[in-house]
């Protein structure tokens, strides 16, 4: 079975849809040429295929281990990380003032997809570092930026996000970690769990972003502050000093991503770990959302990336595995020839196309919002709606498609030897970490729909309607896509109206409806993006582009998605409109099995 190969033509097609003016945006508003974009992607593909993919299985089998209080990774992983940072990949989207390359989010998202498909566990380390860089850059003082960012951007130091405590889980308002001011710093004490890449031996230092409470802080989420807590103390001139008061209590034994150490960290067993306040006291959760939203979009891309890897493996297996015969002939054939296997492969192909298109569209909105142009406010409103959808829908669909990939293998998929089982185990976490699907759905329906009376959501639905109007002007093409989009748009409007009308009378309505609404929106917006892609392909076909089979495939894929995915929207609508009556209808005693 062959390894992962970066689907560069696919990636460049969907990048092209988002950057039709040519090239890709940079953080300073300039544009990287198409030739430079291709060069970046080709080099990322080379490193993914030659360096990271060969370590995918090794990382799973050997994993991370806690030895004498320090997390150790296989030496091959450490060597790969050295090559990775030497090539400057961590700082791809970071500010050039501190050593970054200043590339925009849309190209960085495409590159990150490649890393995640090649080796998900490895990719989590630079992903979190990039999120920590963005949070410190946006909210930290000049001193913090100068002291920490250059080494983090180079990859010499890595970053983490420290939110969760065992008694609180996702309820951050219940956290108990404390921080007390001491001169120009604080002393921080507490225990954090589920810290991805919380300790390791790949880099010379680890910079933790930690949520904690200062004395006399307000209760709940309004009393949370954010701190930079280095594993090894850093002097004003950037040189390393003595170890901070941080110990690794354990490394979790997990279902998947074994090459990514998930740690329990103790802060301040004696005097307290030295910590530096980011921004102002009691505003830490809003600062941390910079990193959290970055991570949520990145985890959505993980659903896509794992589905892409599973698709490539399932497709290759379907070409090689000879079993059964055609209905009209007796000779044995590869299972690729069987209609049901084709159906599964098309599900995987259309689903990955839709996730890629939607993820890149969200990244393009990040770039547009950062550019400060006349369209920036609309882009920022749109990305606020798209973030929970990309995170929630892409990971839920990613799990479904990876499961289908295992099914293509039949019994061989359930055996570790083929590698399909590892992808299945690895993708399972994506709907859980960085906020479960339920948390994303509650964010979408509460903060993004109800809180503004549906303004931002309806503006996004208006964009879908404009696409539908354009399709109506080409009646001979994309018939199924046009019909499915119209029905899906009507269903979405129905649910929006029902929630806005009924949530005050029924306090359980939003929570009972939320996941179905998120899945409806994800499916509709995935179909919308595929329709835009089909239109983009049609333009190239009409211009006589030589890549006709590839471009015609985009039209077929859009129609398949319309026929096989978008009918789900009616089911989501029906469940959402049904409200909370039966969801909350049984008592605790009735729920228990007698």
Q: Is 434 a catalytic residue?
A: yes
Q: Which residues contact 543 (CB under 8 A, 6 or more apart)?
A: none
Q: Which helix (H) or strand (E) holds 180?
A: strand 178-182
Using CA atoms, how far apart are residues 85 and 112, in angstroms rounded to an integer? 14
Sign of the CA dihedral with 120 first, then 49, 344, and 323 last: negative
Using CA atoms, how far apart are residues 224 and 22, in angstroms rounded to an integer? 43
Catalytic residue among 434, 501, 563, 592: 434
Using CA atoms, how far apart are residues 494 and 461, in angstroms rounded to an integer? 12
Residues in the chain, overall count = 594
Q: Where are the beta strands (DSSP E) in 65-136?
A: 65-67, 70-72
Using CA atoms, how far apart are residues 359 and 301, in angstroms rounded to an integer? 7
SS3 of 21-35: the string is CCCEEECCCCEECHH
Cβ atoms of residues 416 and 395 within 8 Å: no
Using CA atoms, how far apart are residues 10 and 311, in angstroms rounded to an integer? 13
Q: Where are the beta strands (DSSP E) in 183-283?
A: 185-196, 205-212, 225-230, 232-234, 240-243, 246-251, 262-267, 273-277
Sign of the CA dihedral with 572 first, then 577, 581, and 582 last: negative
User: Nearest 5°: phi and psi at 255?
Assistant: -65, -40
Angle (CA) 58 61 62, round 5°: 80
- Exposure class string for 139-173: b at 16+ Cβ within 10 A, else e: bbeeebbebbbbbbbbbebbbbbbbbbeeeeeebe
Catalytic residues: 434
């Amino acid at each position: 079975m062959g390894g992962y190969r970066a689907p560069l033509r696919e990636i460049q097609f969907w990048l092209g849809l988002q950057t039709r003016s040519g090239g890709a945006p940079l953080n300073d508003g300039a544009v990287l040429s198409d030739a430079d974009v291709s060069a970046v992607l080709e080099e990322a593909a080379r490193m993914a295929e030659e360096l990271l993919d060969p370590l995918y299985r090794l990382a799973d089998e050997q994993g991370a281990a806690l030895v004498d209080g320090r997390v150790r990774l296989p030496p091959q992983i450490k060597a790969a990380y050295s090559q990775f940072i030497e090539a400057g990949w961590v700082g791809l989207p970071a500010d050039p003032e501190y050593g970054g390359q200043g590339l925009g989010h849309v190209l960085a998202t495409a590159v990150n997809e490649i890393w995640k498909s090649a080796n998900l566990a490895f990719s989590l380390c630079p992903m979190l570092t990039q999120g920590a860089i963005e949070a410190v850059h946006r909210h930290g003082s000049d001193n913090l930026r100068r002291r920490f960012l250059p080494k983090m951007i180079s990859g010499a130091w890595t970053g983490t996000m420290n939110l969760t405590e065992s008694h609180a889980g996702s309820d951050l308002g219940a956290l108990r970690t404390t921080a007390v001011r001491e001169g120009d710093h604080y002393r921080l004490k507490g225990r954090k769990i589920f810290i991805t890449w919380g300790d390791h031996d790949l880099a010379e230092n680890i910079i933790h972003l930690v949520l904690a409470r200062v004395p006399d802080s307000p209760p709940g989420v309004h009393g949370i502050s954010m701190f930079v807590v280095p594993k090894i103390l850093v002097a004003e001139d950037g040189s390393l000093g003595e170890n901070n008061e941080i110990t690794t209590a354990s490394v979790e034994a997990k279902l998947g991503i074994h090459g990514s150490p998930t740690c329990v960290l103790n802060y301040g067993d004696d005097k307290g770990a030295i910590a530096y306040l980011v921004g102002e006291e009691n505003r830490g959760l809003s600062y941390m959302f910079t990193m959290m939203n970055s991570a949520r979009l990145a985890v959505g891309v993980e659903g896509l990336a794992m589905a892409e890897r599973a698709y490539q493996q399932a497709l290759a297996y379907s070409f090689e595995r000879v079993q059964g015969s055609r209905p009209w002939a007796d000779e044995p054939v590869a299972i690729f020839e069987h209609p049901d296997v084709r159906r599964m492969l098309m599900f995987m192909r259309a689903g990955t196309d839709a996730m890629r298109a939607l993820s890149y569209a969200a990244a393009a909105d990040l770039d547009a919002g950062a550019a400060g142009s006349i369209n920036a406010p609309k882009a920022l409103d749109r990305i606020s709606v798209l973030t929970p959808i990309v995170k929630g829908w892409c990971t839920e669909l990613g799990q479904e498609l990876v499961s289908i990939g295992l099914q293509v293998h039949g019994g061989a998929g359930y055996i570790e030897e083929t590698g399909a089982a590892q992808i299945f185990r690895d993708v399972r976490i994506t709907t859980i970490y960085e906020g479960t699907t339920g948390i994303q759905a509650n964010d979408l329906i509460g903060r993004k729909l109800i809180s503004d009376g549906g303004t931002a959501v309806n503006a996004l639905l208006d964009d879908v309607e404009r696409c539908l109007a354009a399709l109506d002007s080409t009646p001979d093409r994309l018939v199924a896509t046009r019909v499915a989009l119209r029905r899906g748009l009507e269903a979405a409007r129905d649910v929006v109206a029902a929630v806005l009308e009924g949530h005050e009378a029924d306090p359980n309505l939003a929570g009972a409806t939320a996941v179905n609404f998120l899945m409806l929106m994800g499916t509709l917006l995935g179909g919308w993006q595929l329709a835009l892609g089909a239109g983009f392909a049609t333009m190239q076909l009409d211009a006589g582009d030589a890549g006709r089979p590839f471009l015609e495939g985009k039209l077929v894929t859009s129609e398949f998605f319309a026929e096989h995915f978008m009918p789900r929207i009616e089911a989501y609508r029906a469940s959402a409109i049904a409200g909370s009556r039966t969801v909350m209808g049984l008592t605790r005693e009735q729920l228990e099995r007698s």
